Chains A and B, each alone.
Chain A
Amino acid sequence: MNQILNIFRKDTRRFWPEIVLSLVITAAFALIYPVQWLPGTGERVRELQYLASVFTGLVPVSWCLLIGRVVHAETLVGDRQFWITRPYEWKKLLGAKVLFLLVWLYLPFLAAQSLLLAEAGFHPLSYVPGLLFGLLLVTGILVLPLFAIAAVTANFARMTLTLLGVLIALLGTVFAANMVNRYTAFIPSSDRISLPVMLCLCGAAVLIQYASRRVWQARVLLIAGPVLIAAVLFAASRSQDSLVNRYYLLPASASAAPFQLQLAPDSRRQVTAIRISDNVKFINVPLLVAGVPDGYAIQIDNLRATFTGQDGFSWTSPWQSSYGQRFLPDTEQTELQIRIDPAAYERLLKTTPVSLHLRLALTRIKAGATTSVVFPKGNVELPGFGICATRPNFAFWGTTDENMDCRSALHLPQLTYLVTVWQDGPCSTIQPTPEHTAVAYGWTGNLNPDPAEFGISSVWTPNVTFSNRRVHNGMADLSSTPWRFCPGVPFRATQYHLVDRTQASMTLTNIVLPANVVPTS
């Protein structure tokens, strides 16, 4: 323990400028960040919000500096270091570095996160497990990789170059993946692999370095790990069918389909095609939805479409994401967007109408607790969701817009369905008449069950988007009217929980593909 404290004291004395810099950045972040959820939309607020974003980015940069400097104080690369012929015990040396990070990185960060929670109206002590889980995520995603890179580089300059290389490699991988995989399916559990693997690899590299300074072994581990993960993910993406089948169980029988889709009666005229680019084309198929059981909702995560022309020509798409479209028991109609190969489209166009066989990868969700309130003028705490407030003097243009500010602790809220009432007049209007109100609804949150999500801030500001595409109370043209979310309106929030992930198949016939393709700008 003496050796740990001795090295810790030495590092603290030596790196006090870096420590002070990191503390100042963390403190500034904690003090400025609440502007992200404070009311107001003026120039000053926007400047502060920009500043908050800058400090949010500077926090990990200051960590990078702190980690790099303290690890390189007893650098593990090279054969000229002073310390390697001194009676350092590697476990104690590593312990001293960990202690340094605990005291000068984790504690200030934990304090900043607690302060933010308190500022946002959440009691930090109620979120201790989540805070600790958040620290684990920060460790796995930022601190440990930075520590491992510092451990296999000789100095801070080389560490910075390595980080730049990693960044370029990441961007290149994403670019290449997008080039190779034009159809990307949503796989719910893929992220469960990467973090534990990275934790293990980075941890192993650090241990190898401290225990035996086998630099190339550690480097190979750090390089091979992500390459291996990328290769596995790439291979998995090439066999998305098996991946989807793994996470979305095939139903026992065809009758087990949890809901039904059928073409909207006037679909011959309504199927539309959109051209994004020469290689990207979508068709939108208007559908009627039925059969979603009460108390449940269906979320379409992925779809696989097979179009068959009258002459027998057939084209099947790979699995593609359908962006989590959700249907409730009272959902009547929807529009399914399907990406299609432009050449196949041209070919199918010659034999339209065509039949469409859909394989859908679905998530079934079940309604849980519902909170109903009359939305007050100030903050309202919605249990299990967070704290929300109306945004004063903010008009809603069109059918979709943000109309309230919410914040949640440590992660986005549990997937929640929100229902409220808009009005088309100023909020000062007392009790607007029914013809001047409209029901607005929207989904927010996600199904992630973890107690925290990775983030520098402990407070999340979920994007609450309401919409209303239906005619309501005789108001046919919602899109031309400014709609307001005002205090005093009824507000209902229903949480949804994962039931299972399954698949369903259905065939739609007599689909007329339009020759006229709408280009998008």
Chain B
Amino acid sequence: MSTTITSGDLAIDTHNLTKSFGQTEVLHEINLAVSEGAIYALVGPNGAGKTTMIKLLMNILRPTTGGAEVLGVGTQRLAGEVFNRIGYVSENQEMPEAMTVGALMNFMRPFYPRWDRRLERELVRQFDLPLERKLKHLSRGMRMKAAFAISLAYRPKLIVLDEPFTGLDPLVRDELIESLLERAAETTIFLSSHDLAEIESFASHVGYMEEGRMLFSEEMTVLANRFREVSITLPAPAPLPPKLPSAWMLTETVDCVVRFVHSEYRGEASEREAATVFPGARDVAWEAMPLRSIFLAIAKTGRTQNHAMRTTAGDGRPEA
């Protein structure tokens, strides 16, 4: 599940990152490491703390306790020149509405020594941006495209996107994803979303947050390999054994069929384990699960169990 990476390889590194507003803790001791080059998707339901997490990473908010580093810089020192290497786009961001797209480009260009005029023209053409139109007169999709364009034109080392595709039509969403993937080789992408389907196709790593806690964080392929939907057909209806393996989630019986989700699938070892629990099983089916089903299973199982489920090597931090 995890790879050994040094801190120099990390684009994002958090340590017990916690944020409270008054008495309400909205983020609880988040430990996360995102290696350079990853396309990391932070998913979770609305109110899970994803946006707060990103605002902490961007030094828009300050942590209550704990800390984080982005591109090797402590987030509380994240200002000025460091943002030459970071592109940030958020669905909630207030854009300079009174400016035209062209004026915004002209204004932002001098801020970035690495601004690529050729790439700027390419993005303008690719997104079909109307340079003479004011941002306040643009559609939501077009505004997001403009935000992408001015965040990609200087080839940032890290692109942070907060719910970038929310409310966009599929065409625009695909255009934006395509533009991101074209630059994925030279950058790290960290994005949040509550829509699993939109990130499943391109994220290399995924982290799941709920109620301010990071339930797990790992590589997509590892996650997909780890989960199986299991269906065991027994010769006759029988009660479930009192003690089931801890990796089995949402275990239920319907007549002769026992169903559960295996969260630590290890091939033959897991199959032998199932055969041990149900020695007289007539049939056992192991099916891979789509990301959406995995998250639903996790959500239904309950926060405490899910939290314990996350296993990491080394310092206990989930790594991407």
Are A81 and B80 closer than 8 Å at their CB atoms? no
Chain B residues with CB under 8 Å of A2's CB are 110
Chain B residues with CB under 8 Å of A82's CB are 93-96
Question: CB-CB contacts of B83-117 with A at 8 A, as 1s and 0s?
Answer: 11010101011111011000100011011100000
Are A6 and B92 closer than 8 Å at their CB atoms? no
Alpha-carbon distance between A79 and B82 when the two chains are bound, in angstroms:
18
Are A89 and B92 closer than 8 Å at their CB atoms? no
Are B107 and A6 closer than 8 Å at their CB atoms? yes
Are B95 and A89 closer than 8 Å at their CB atoms? no
> Which has the most chain B C-beta neighbours within 10 Å: A80, A86, A88, A89?
A86
Are A88 and B111 closer than 8 Å at their CB atoms? yes
Alpha-carbon distance between A6 and B88 when the two chains are bound, in angstroms:
21
Are A86 and B94 closer than 8 Å at their CB atoms? no
A265 in contact (CB, < 8 A): no
Are A14 and B98 closer than 8 Å at their CB atoms? yes
A439 in contact (CB, < 8 A): no
Alpha-carbon distance between A89 and B78 when the two chains are bound, in angstroms:
11
Are B110 and A86 closer than 8 Å at their CB atoms? no
Chain A residues with CB under 8 Å of B59's CB are 84
Are A6 and B111 closer than 8 Å at their CB atoms? yes
A133 in contact (CB, < 8 A): no
Alpha-carbon distance between A73 and B107 when the two chains are bound, in angstroms:
13
CB contact between A79 and one of B61, B84, B88 (< 8 Å): that residue: B61
B55 in contact (CB, < 8 A): yes
Chain B residues with CB under 8 Å of A178's CB are none
Alpha-carbon distance between A85 and B79 when the two chains are bound, in angstroms:
8
Are B92 and A87 closer than 8 Å at their CB atoms? no
Contacts A14-B98, A80-B93 hold; do A89 and B58 have CB atoms under 8 A apart? no
Chain A residues with CB under 8 Å of B90's CB are 80
A37 in contact (CB, < 8 A): no
CB contact between A90 and one of B55, B79, B83, B86 (< 8 Å): that residue: B79
Are B84 and A14 closer than 8 Å at their CB atoms? no
Closest-CB distance, B209 to chain A (whole angstroms): 19
Are B81 and A89 closer than 8 Å at their CB atoms? yes
Chain B residues with CB under 8 Å of A81's CB are 93-94
Question: CB-CB contacts of B64-81 with A at 8 A, as 1s and 0s?
Answer: 000000000000000111
Are B55 and A79 closer than 8 Å at their CB atoms? yes
Are B99 and A14 closer than 8 Å at their CB atoms? yes
Alpha-carbon distance between A87 and B58 when the two chains are bound, in angstroms:
12
Alpha-carbon distance between A86 and B86 when the two chains are bound, in angstroms:
8
CB contact between A10 and one of B55, B92, B107 (< 8 Å): that residue: B107
Closest-CB distance, B32 to chain A (whole angstroms): 19
A245 in contact (CB, < 8 A): no
Chain B residues touching A, majority SS: mixed
Within 8 A of B (CB), among A1-60: 2-3, 6, 10, 13-14
Are A86 and B60 closer than 8 Å at their CB atoms? no
Chain A residues with CB under 8 Å of B84's CB are 87
Chain A residues with CB under 8 Å of B99's CB are 10, 14
Chain A contact patch, size range: 10 to 19
> Which has the most chain B C-beta neighbours within 10 Å: A73, A80, A85?
A85
Chain A residues with CB under 8 Å of B110's CB are 2-3, 6
Are B107 and A87 closer than 8 Å at their CB atoms? no
Are A90 and B92 closer than 8 Å at their CB atoms? no
Contacts A3-B111, A10-B107 hold; do A85 and B94 have CB atoms under 8 A apart? no
Are B107 and A80 closer than 8 Å at their CB atoms? no
Chain B residues with CB under 8 Å of A84's CB are 58-60
Are B80 and A90 closer than 8 Å at their CB atoms? yes
Alpha-carbon distance between A361 and B301 when the two chains are bound, in angstroms:
84
Are B83 and A86 closer than 8 Å at their CB atoms? yes
Are B111 and A86 closer than 8 Å at their CB atoms? yes
Closest-CB distance, A78 to chain B (whole angstroms): 8
A-B pairs under 8 A by CB, number = 55
Are A87 and B81 closer than 8 Å at their CB atoms? yes
Chain B residues with CB under 8 Å of A89's CB are 79-81
Are A87 and B93 closer than 8 Å at their CB atoms? no
Are B88 and A85 closer than 8 Å at their CB atoms? yes
Chain B residues with CB under 8 Å of A86's CB are 83, 108, 111
CB contact between A85 and one of B61, B83, B103, B112 (< 8 Å): that residue: B83
Alpha-carbon distance between A55 and B96 when the two chains are bound, in angstroms:
32
Alpha-carbon distance between A78 and B55 when the two chains are bound, in angstroms:
12
CB-CB nearest in chain B for A214: B62
Chain A residues with CB under 8 Å of B86's CB are 85
Alpha-carbon distance between A78 and B59 when the two chains are bound, in angstroms:
12
Are B95 and A87 closer than 8 Å at their CB atoms? no
Question: CB-CB contacts of B139-176 with A at 8 A, as 1s and 0s?
Answer: 00000000000000000000000000000000000000
Alpha-carbon distance between A73 and B95 when the two chains are bound, in angstroms:
11
Chain A residues with CB under 8 Å of B98's CB are 14
Within 8 A of A (CB), among B29-44: none
CB contact between A87 and one of B60, B61, B94, B111 (< 8 Å): that residue: B111
Chain A residues with CB under 8 Å of B83's CB are 85-88
Alpha-carbon distance between A357 and B60 when the two chains are bound, in angstroms:
67
Closest-CB distance, B191 to chain A (whole angstroms): 14
Alpha-carbon distance between A84 and B88 when the two chains are bound, in angstroms:
10
Chain A residues with CB under 8 Å of B103's CB are 10, 13
CB-CB nearest in chain A for B96: A82
Closest-CB distance, B166 to chain A (whole angstroms): 15
Alpha-carbon distance between A81 and B107 when the two chains are bound, in angstroms:
16
Are A80 and B111 closer than 8 Å at their CB atoms? no
Are A85 and B60 closer than 8 Å at their CB atoms? yes
Chain A residues with CB under 8 Å of B95's CB are 82
Alpha-carbon distance between A13 and B107 when the two chains are bound, in angstroms:
11
Alpha-carbon distance between A80 and B92 when the two chains are bound, in angstroms:
6
Alpha-carbon distance between A3 and B58 when the two chains are bound, in angstroms:
21
Alpha-carbon distance between A84 and B80 when the two chains are bound, in angstroms:
9
Are A87 and B80 closer than 8 Å at their CB atoms? yes
Closest-CB distance, A218 to chain B (whole angstroms): 15
Contacts A80-B94, A82-B93 hold; do A87 and B82 have CB atoms under 8 A apart? yes
Chain B residues with CB under 8 Å of A87's CB are 80-84, 111-112
CB-CB nearest in chain B for A81: B94
Are A85 and B111 closer than 8 Å at their CB atoms? no
CB-CB nearest in chain B for A92: B80
Are B58 and A85 closer than 8 Å at their CB atoms? yes
Alpha-carbon distance between A81 and B55 when the two chains are bound, in angstroms:
12
CB-CB nearest in chain B for A79: B60
- Closest CB pairs A-B (n = 9): A85-B88, A87-B83, A89-B80, A79-B60, A80-B94, A6-B110, A87-B84, A87-B111, A10-B107
- Could you jot down 18 A-B contacts, CB within 8 Å? A2-B110, A6-B110, A6-B111, A13-B103, A81-B94, A82-B93, A82-B95, A85-B58, A85-B60, A85-B83, A85-B88, A85-B93, A86-B83, A86-B111, A87-B80, A87-B112, A88-B83, A89-B79
Given contacts A13-B103, A78-B94, 19 further A-B contacts (CB under 8 A): A3-B111, A6-B111, A10-B103, A10-B107, A79-B55, A79-B60, A80-B93, A82-B93, A84-B60, A86-B83, A86-B108, A86-B111, A87-B80, A87-B111, A88-B80, A89-B79, A89-B80, A89-B81, A90-B79
Residues of B with Cβ closer than 8 Å to A? Answer: 55, 58-61, 79-84, 86, 88, 90, 92-96, 98-99, 103, 107-108, 110-112
Residues of A with Cβ closer than 8 Å to B? Answer: 2-3, 6, 10, 13-14, 73, 78-82, 84-90
